[in-house]
């Protein structure tokens, strides 16, 4: 009896101790995150450095004490808001753009450029400096009044390229294959599992896509640097920016300076003497200060709903789109009497066709009561286009990748591997079709026929959504479909979107449709707090650690291959997804 009493006392004491330690940990984290208020001093220079990945929307909560325990990201909406606030902030003299290896998409980068271009209308300066300019870094920097490069620095300016990996031979050697069923000659999301090389149809669309994106990039640079587009292409073809001297001679940069010399330029521009110290304020700090200032005010509201990531069946979250969190946001916006219009910001390569249709339906219901405008980010293709097509109006950036109207299915099969290593699977069933599919047996013609039927039904449904949403015939929709991808510029010419423009342009259009002159912005969805994710996703933390270990062993390129194979193997159901995975650089 005494033993049991002592054992229970020990267990209770241990639990109490762990409880005390846990709450002390919470208090410590909270205290560690208590910061003095941000003070913006007179004659400050706002320094833009993008050290973290940029997402369209983070839904961040500065008061969350667990924020630092998770992967960091910057919100594009927060960045643009901070630049807009700085435009009219008397304490900000100008902006120093000092960022290398920008971790953002091309359309996100283009959106920041447009915000900086608007900032310049205040008469304040924007200068850019770097030791090394990669293409995306230079694209961003080229909007500046003056661009400076380290005298021994480097610049990458060569045009865009993309690489697609093929796995057919790997499947043959390992006995592990993906059974593929698709619709559309351009639906090459599954081509890497069917062929050892790129089809001409795929090569054509990638070439045309890259050419259109590059044309938009070159035009922006040409406008801001006052260089003829043909000359910029000549510079790219001859690597005319490959060393600092060539970069200056060809007009890509204004001067070659060391950092201390660049700071002299900043001092002069910000009204300080050479013997005075520069007063910088970092972007992260300024975003905290800017978040206290509301630029759009009014009792009426426009709801901005962010849908970012792959589309998967389920709740959804910051990194993937699920019908749960998006439809909940649409319902809240629809029922809120103060919300007069909805803007859906889509940044997605697509995914589950079923989830896409569920979200499409909720948009249809919302559109009956309030205007719905779509703003496309870096990519709004396949399932991403599916959920966008029912909107009253669609905006895209020139560098947006969109279209890809088509569907496919991939099912893993290891029958060859099983045979080679001596595994034999036997099935017992009550009916002819009870055993629908076995991973260990070749796909039967009957099963393939059923899946093909579902693929065709889903494709025709997709086409009907496009035809109705864009007010075109099914034949016209089909001619634009077949999984073909387009840039924002091409999509505008083809009628797949209505206007080229930013998220702000989409919001302004929503205000016009709702006949609003003053309004505030309400952003959705509200993601779970980091504390909730910490409690619910301890296994996710383990997964991240494991992936970090694999990445360190394999290296960046091999790890990317591993992730691509894993992603395709985990796909479930019919997919309305991007026709290929492109890293454009």
Looking up residue 105, the CATH number of its domain turns out to be 3.90.226.10
Share of the chain above pLDDT 90, in %: 59
Least confident piece of the model among 208-217, 302-311, 555-564: 555-564
| The pLDDT value given to residue 73 | 85
Does residue 178 surpass a pLDDT of 50?
A: yes
| The pLDDT value given to residue 85 | 97
- Read off the pLDDT of each residue in 433-454 and give the average, rounded to a whole number: 86
Considering the candidates 187, 248, 267, 370, report the single residue annotated as catalytic: 187
pTM, rounded to two decimals: 0.85
pLDDT digit string (tens) for 77-100? 999 999 999 999 999 999 999 988
Residues 234 and 369 in one domain: no
Q: Which domain holds residue 134?
A: 44-162+223-290
Least confident piece of the model among 44-48, 105-109, 168-172: 168-172
| The pLDDT value given to residue 429 | 84
Cis before residue 525, ω within 30 degrees of 0? yes
Last residue of a domain, one of 290, 314, 345: 290
Higher pLDDT among residues 97 and 483, named by residue: 97
Confidence of residue 107 (pLDDT cuts 50, 70, 90): very high
In a domain, 255, yes or no: yes
In a domain, 258, yes or no: yes
Least confident piece of the model among 61-70, 471-480, 502-511, 527-536: 61-70
Does residue 57 surpass a pLDDT of 70?
A: yes
Residue among 306, 293, 318 nearest 72 (CA): 318
Least confident piece of the model among 182-186, 187-191, 283-287: 182-186
Site of tokens 């060391």: 258
Active site includes 168?
no
Residues 99 and 237 in one domain: yes
Task: Dig out the tokens for 297 from the structure.
Answer: 């005010």
In a domain, 55, yes or no: yes
Residues 328 and 308 in one domain: yes
- Number of domains, the chain: 2
Does residue 415 surpass a pLDDT of 80?
A: yes
| The pLDDT value given to residue 337 | 96
Residue 482: left if φ>0, alpha if ψ -120 to 50, beta else—which one? Answer: left
In a domain, 518, yes or no: yes
Higher pLDDT among residues 76 and 22, named by residue: 76
In a domain, 175, yes or no: no
| The pLDDT value given to residue 35 | 47
Does residue 551 surpass a pLDDT of 70?
A: no
Residues 260 and 400 in one domain: no
| The pLDDT value given to residue 34 | 45
Last residue of a domain, one of 290, 316, 342: 290
Question: CA–CA separation, 57 vs 81, rounded Å?
Answer: 12
Q: Which of 24-33, 183-192, 338-347 has the highest mean pLDDT?
A: 338-347
In a domain, 10, yes or no: no
Higher pLDDT among residues 75 and 572, named by residue: 75
Q: Given CA atoms 494, 209, 499, 380 in this order, what sign does their dihedral have?
A: positive
In a domain, 19, yes or no: no
Q: How many other CB atoms are there within 10 angstroms of residue 516's CB atom?
A: 16
Residue among 169, 156, 189 nearest 574 (CA): 189
- Read off the pLDDT of each residue in 165-178 and give the average, rounded to a whole number: 89
Residues 278 and 148 in one domain: yes
| The pLDDT value given to residue 183 | 72
Active site includes 291?
no
Residues 378 and 258 in one domain: no
- Read off the pLDDT of each residue in 177-182 and give the average, rounded to a whole number: 84
Q: What is the DSSP string of 238-300?
A: TTTTSSHHHHHHTTS-SEE--HHHHHHHHHHHTT--TTSPPEEEEHHHHHHHHTT--SS--SS
Half-sphere exposure at residue 519, Cβ-oriented, CA atoms within 13 angstroms? 23
In a domain, 104, yes or no: yes
Residues 147 and 243 in one domain: yes
Higher pLDDT among residues 185 and 404, named by residue: 404
Q: Where are the alpha helices (DSSP H) in 423-485?
A: 445-470, 474-479
Does residue 575 surpass a pLDDT of 90?
A: no
Does residue 541 surpass a pLDDT of 50?
A: no
Higher pLDDT among residues 410 and 495, named by residue: 495
Does residue 546 surpass a pLDDT of 60?
A: no
127: part of which helix (H) or strand (E)? Answer: strand 125-133
Residues 286 and 305 in one domain: no
In contact, 292 and 78? CB cutoff 8 Å: no
pLDDT averaged over every residue in the chain: 86
Site of tokens 């979200």: 359
Last residue of a domain, one of 290, 310, 333: 290
- Read off the pLDDT of each residue in 108-118 and give the average, rounded to a whole number: 97
Task: Dig out the tokens for 528 from the structure.
Answer: 């779970």
- Read off the pLDDT of each residue in 1-11 and give the average, rounded to a whole number: 57
Does residue 449 surpass a pLDDT of 70?
A: yes
Share of the chain above pLDDT 70, in %: 82
Question: CA–CA separation, 114 vs 121, rounded Å?
Answer: 11
- Read off the pLDDT of each residue in 284-307 and give the average, rounded to a whole number: 93
Residues 88 and 148 in one domain: yes
Residues 326 and 460 in one domain: yes
Residues 337 and 457 in one domain: yes
| The pLDDT value given to residue 184 | 57
Least confident piece of the model among 155-164, 234-243, 464-473, 575-584: 575-584
| The pLDDT value given to residue 544 | 47
Residues 277 and 361 in one domain: no
- Read off the pLDDT of each residue in 518-542 and give the average, rounded to a whole number: 69
- Read off the pLDDT of each residue in 531-555 and give the average, rounded to a whole number: 52
Considering the candidates 60, 382, 418, 509, report the single residue annotated as catalytic: 382
In contact, 255 and 148? CB cutoff 8 Å: yes
| The pLDDT value given to residue 5 | 61
């Amino acid at each position: 009896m005494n033993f049991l009493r002592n054992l229970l006392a020990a267990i209770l004491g241990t639990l109490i101790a762990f409880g005390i330690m846990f709450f002390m940990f919470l208090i410590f984290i909270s205290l560690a995150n208590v910061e003095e208020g941000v003070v913006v001093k007179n004659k400050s220079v706002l320094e833009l450095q993008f050290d973290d990945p940029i997402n369209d929307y983070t839904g961040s909560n500065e008061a969350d004490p667990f924020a630092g325990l998770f992967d960091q990201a910057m919100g594009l909406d927060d960045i643009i808001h901070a630049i807009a606030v700085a435009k009219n902030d008397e304490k900000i003299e100008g902006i120093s753009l000092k960022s290398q290896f920008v971790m953002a998409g091309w359309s996100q980068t283009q959106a920041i450029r447009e915000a900086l271009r608007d900032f310049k209308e205040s008469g304040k300066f924007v200068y850019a400096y770097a030791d090394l300019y990669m293409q995306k870094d230079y694209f961003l920097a080229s909007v500046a009044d003056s661009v400076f490069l380290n005298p021994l620095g480097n610049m990458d300016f060569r045009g865009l390229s993309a690489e697609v990996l093929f796995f057919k031979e790997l499947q043959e050697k390992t006995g592990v294959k993906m059974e593929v069923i698709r619709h559309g000659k351009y639906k090459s999301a599954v081509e890497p599992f069917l062929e050892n090389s790129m089809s001409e149809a795929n090569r054509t669309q990638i070439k045309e896509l890259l050419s259109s994106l590059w044309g938009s990039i070159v035009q922006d640079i040409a406008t801001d640097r006052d260089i003829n587009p043909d000359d910029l292409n000549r510079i790219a073809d001859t690597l005319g920016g490959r060393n600092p001297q060539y970069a200056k001679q060809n007009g890509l940069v204004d001067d070659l300076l060391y950092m201390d010399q660049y700071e002299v330029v900043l001092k002069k521009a910000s009204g300080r003497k050479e013997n005075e110290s520069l007063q910088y304020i970092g972007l992260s700090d300024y975003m905290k200060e800017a978040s206290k200032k509301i630029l759009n005010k009014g009792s009426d509201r426009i709801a901005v709903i962010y849908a970012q990531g792959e589309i998967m069946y389920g709740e959804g979250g910051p990194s993937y789109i699920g019908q749960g969190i998006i439809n909940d946001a649409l319902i809240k916006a629809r029922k809120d009497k103060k919300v007069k219009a909805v803007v859906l910001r889509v940044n997605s390569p697509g995914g589950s066709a079923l989830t896409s249709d569920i979200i499409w339906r909720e948009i249809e219901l919302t559109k009956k009561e309030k205007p719905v405008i779509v703003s496309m980010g870096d990519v709004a293709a396949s399932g991403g286009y599916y959920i966008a097509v029912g909107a009253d109006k669609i905006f895209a950036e020139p560098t947006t990748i969109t279209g890809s109207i088509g569907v496919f299915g991939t099912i893993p099969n290891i029958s060859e591997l099983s045979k080679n290593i001596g595994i034999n699977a036997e099935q017992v069933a009550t009916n002819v079709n009870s055993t629908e599919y076995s991973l260990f047996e070749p796909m039967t013609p009957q099963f393939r026929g059923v899946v093909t039927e579902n693929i065709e039904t889903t494709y025709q449904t997709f086409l009907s959504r496009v035809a109705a949403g864009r007010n075109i015939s099914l034949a016209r929709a089909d001619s634009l479909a077949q999984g073909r991808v387009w840039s924002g510029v091409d999509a505008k010419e083809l009628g797949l979107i209505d206007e080229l423009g930013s998220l702000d342009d989409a919001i302004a259009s929503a205000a016009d449709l709702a006949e609003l002159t003053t309004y505030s912005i309400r952003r959705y969805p509200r993601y779970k707090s980091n504390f909730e994710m910490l409690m619910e996703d301890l296994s996710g933390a383990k997964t991240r650690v494991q992936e970090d270990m694999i990445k360190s062993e394999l290296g960046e390129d091999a790890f990317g291959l591993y992730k691509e194979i894993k992603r395709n193997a985990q796909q479930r159901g019919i997919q309305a997804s991007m026709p290929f995975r492109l890293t454009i650089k």
